[in-house]
Amino acid sequence: MKIEVITVSEEIKIIGLSYRKLGLPSTIESLEKIWNMYNEKYRNNVKNAVIPLMDYGVNDCLLTDTHEYFAGCAVTEIGKLDENWASFVAPKGKYIKHTSHNRAELHSTDIKAWAKANGLKFDENFMLEVYPNGELNEKNVEEFTLRLMQSES
């Protein structure tokens, strides 16, 4: 496991299947379902996909009643979206990057406590799960989360 501060120099444009638009409840089973749908039907057919393919799970509006999660990939441009798709643009800036080769360890680490211990603040309203090798299985996991740091102004 590794936690570090990184700089993202360009916006990250992401599109993916939305559990809200699919009418699915906010559950682990729904997340598994949309990842399976994305991988089976859409993953290799996304228009404007960044190559090499970089998959993302987007958690948006975490502090509101309109929480959104979608499974998708980075794109060069966000065009017209199908009805079950959502888009998100992650701003450039400094991020806290948490990397692990073990999904359980990744999700059990308290990033908030780490940030506080290191005198850092971050935007708690969104989080990106990043799957650089495109494999979402326990045998070959390399994933990380990103949280945008807040400026001290």
In the chain, where the domains are located:
2-148
**pLDDT of 71 above 70:** yes
pLDDT at residue 15, as a whole number: 96
Q: What mean pLDDT comes out for the span 14-38?
A: 91
Q: Is 72 exposed, middle or buried (0-12, 13-18, 19+ CB in 10 A)?
A: buried
pLDDT at residue 61, as a whole number: 76
Residue 140 pLDDT grade (very low, low, confident, very high; cuts 50, 70, 90):
very low
- CATH top-level class for 2-148? alpha beta
**Across 1-153, where does the E strand assignment appear?**
2-8, 12-18, 55-60, 68-75, 85-90, 93-100, 127-131, 143-148
pTM to 2 decimal places = 0.85
